[in-house]
Structure 1
Amino acid sequence: MTELLALSIVSLIANTLSALAGGGSGLLQLPILLFLGLAFPVALATHKVASVALGLGATFKYLKAGTLNWRFSVLVLASGLPGVLIGTLLILHIPEPWTLLILAFLTCGLGLYSLLSPALGQQQQSRHRSGSKRWVGAAGLFFIGVLNGSFTSGTGLFVTLWLVHWFGMDYKRAVAYTMVLAGLFWNGAGAISLALQTDLHWPWIPVLLLASALGGYLGAHWGLKQGNQIIKRCFESVTILAGISLFIKALY
């Protein structure tokens, strides 16, 4: 009971912050699963299944708000899903310290880039939606999909920043796309692929699903009410702190 209580509290906090910042739930949720004794492949698959509920909770809120353009959503799904499936085939064969160090560098870089770009993501400025630049954007989403399937922890943050940087979204809209398309569909595909390759820890799945769904809904609810500046600061805080924690975990 003590383990389940700790797991539910950490999962709720992690998924609420993730839905508000546009990713990062695995940076808290995955370590707690490892700390409680699960082997890395089992913890990874269990977290991935639970993260689908995060996307489901956020999707319910964002669909009610009518935030998404479904034509652009198809581009995100078609670009990222193949990468996710490739990533899930790679991850179980890569040494964990290497994955953590790579992800630490990339995650810190995201936060610093956003921090040093004050105007980034403050206003919606749609761009690169046609011609060759659209396919460059699609290639970026494919690469992030590979990261999502392989590194899993915090890669939703990469989707958020790519949508802001390349496609000109504001932070509020980018977080909505990340939570629905990456959180639900990308993570769903990754969860199925990982579950076919390794075991899940089924006794903890119901608690994780409930906490993830509730956290996703609460984060999306607060995100819709907040301005882009607050969401930007939350994104930067989560990415930089997450990157530092990944460095520590990789080195020790």
Structure 2
Amino acid sequence: MIEQLGLLLISLLANGLSAMAGGGAGLLQLPVLLFLGLSFSTALSTHKIASVALGIGATLRHMREKTLNLKFCLFILAAGLPGVVLGGIIILQLPERLTILSLGILTTGLGLYSVFKPQLGLQHQPRNRHLSGMLTGGAVLCFIGILNGSLTSGTGLFVTLWLIRWFGLDYKTSVAYVLVLVGLFWNGSGAITVAVQQPPQWDWLPALLIGAVIGAYTGSHIALSKGNKVIKRLFETLTILIGLKLIWDALLLF
């Protein structure tokens, strides 16, 4: 009972923060699963399935706002899903320390980039919606999809910043797209791909799923009630913390 309650609380906190910042639930959730004794592959499979509930909780809240453009949603899915499946196939075949170190450096860089761009993402100014802009944006989304399928945390934050930097979305709108599309569809595809190769810890999933739905819904509600500046600061804080944590984890593996 204590174990299940702990899993529920960790899931609430991790997914609540992720819903407010636009990604990063794995920062807390995956290390806890490893600490409780799961192997990396089992913990990864369990985390990826549980992370789908982040998308469910966020979708329940953001759909009420009706701010998402259907064509742009389909574009993000078409660009990213092939990469997610490919990443899910290769993750369990690769050495993890170099990929974790690389992801940590890149994630920290995202946060610092946003810090040093004070006006980034504060206004919604759509751009690069012509053919070449969409192709370039889609190629990067596909690459991020590979990272999403193959790595454990932080890749939703990559999508958040890319939608802001390349397509001109503000933080609030970008987070909405990420939580619904990455949280539900990208994570769902990655979860199926990994779970087929490595079964999750089934008896831990109910607590993780319940915590994720409630945490994501609550975090999304808080994010929608706050302005872009607050979300920007949360994004920057979470990306830098996740990046430093991943770098530390990678160094311990050497």
TM > 0.5 fold call? yes
The aligned counterpart of 1:91 is: 91
Counterparts of residues 99-114 of structure 1 (less than 5 Å)? 99-114=99-114
Q: Distance in 1 between matches of 2:131 and 2:203?
A: 49
For residues 1-252 of structure 1, the aligned pairs below 5 Å read 1-252=1-252
Gaps of 5+ in 2: none
- Aligned equivalents of 1:185, 1:178: Cα separation in 2: 10
CA contact (8 A) 1:3 1:36 kept: no
- For 2:6, the aligned partner's letter is A
Name whichever of 95-104 and 159-168 sits farther off: 95-104
In structure 2, C-alpha distance between the alignment counterparts of 1:125 and 1:105, rounded to whole Å: 29
**8 A Cα contact 2:30 2:152, kept in partner:** no
After TM superposition, the score normalised by the length of structure 1 is 0.99
The Cα shift of 1:3 comes to 2.0
Aligned-residue offset at 1:156: 0.4
Corresponding residue SS for 1:126: coil
Distance between the aligned counterparts of 2:57 and 2:27, measured in 1?
19
Q: After TM superposition, give the deviation of residue 78 of structure 1 in Å.
A: 0.1
Q: Give deviations 1:164-204, integer Å, cap 9, x for gaps.
A: 00000000000000000000000000011111111110010
Superimposed CA distance per residue, residues 31-61 of structure 1 (whole angstroms, 9 cap, x where no aligned partner): 1000000011110010000000000000011
Rounded Cα–Cα distance in structure 1 between residues aligned with 2:213 and 2:20: 13
Distance 1:55 1:130 in 2: 29
SS of residue paired to 1:49: helix
Give aligned pairs, total.
252
Does the 8 Å contact 1:42/1:199 carry over to 2? yes
Cα displacement string for residues 96-134 of structure 1 (whole angstroms, at most 9, x for unaligned residues): 212210110110010000000000000000001122111
| CA-CA distance at 1:5 after TM superposition | 1.9
Aligned-CA RMSD value: 0.7
1:55-74 alpha-carbon deviations (Å, 9 max, x no partner): 00000111111120011000
For residues 5 and 239 of structure 2, the distance between their equivalents in structure 1, rounded to whole angstroms, comes to: 26
- Bigger mean CA deviation after superposition, 239-248 or 13-22: 239-248
Q: Point out the more displaced range, 240-249 or 158-167.
A: 240-249
**SS of alignment partner, residue 215 of structure 2:** helix
